[in-house]
């Protein structure tokens, strides 16, 4: 679903690839963490996905300034 949203943002709304990717990446990483938690993966995998979402979020905020 996130891929569909990315395509809509880049193709129909004419966002740049970078802007759309940075906007959606933190949420995608948090969804990956949620999936890992719900499927019973070990906690380091959940923590890794959550930790990866933070720098992506900071990059998005920096881009918006």
Tens digit of each residue's pLDDT (9 = 90 or more) over 4-51: 999 999 999 999 999 999 999 999 999 999 999 999 999 999 999 999
SS3 19: helix
pLDDT recorded at residue 32: 96
Q: Structural domain of residue 38, as residue ranges?
A: 25-65
* 35 lies in some domain: yes
* 51 lies in some domain: yes
Q: Minimal CA–CA distance to 5: which of 30, 18, 24?
A: 24
Residue 41's CB: how many other CB atoms inside 10 A?
14
Q: Which residue has the higher pLDDT, 56 or 65?
A: 56
Residue showing tokens 């905020």: 61
pLDDT recorded at residue 23: 94
pTM to 2 decimals? 0.86
* 49 lies in some domain: yes
Please give the average per-residue pLDDT across 53-58, as a whole number. Answer: 96
Q: Give the pair of three-digit tokens for residue 49.
A: 């996905």
Instruction: Give me the number of domains the chain comprises.
Output: 1
Residue 65 confidence (pLDDT) above 90: no
């Amino acid at each position: 679903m996130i891929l569909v949203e990315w395509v809509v943002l880049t193709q129909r709304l004419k966002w740049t690839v970078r802007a759309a990717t940075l906007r959606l990446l933190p949420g995608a990483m948090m969804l990956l963490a949620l999936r890992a938690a719900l499927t019973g993966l070990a906690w380091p995998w959940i923590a890794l996905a959550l930790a990866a979402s933070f720098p992506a979020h900071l990059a998005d905020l920096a881009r918006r300034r």
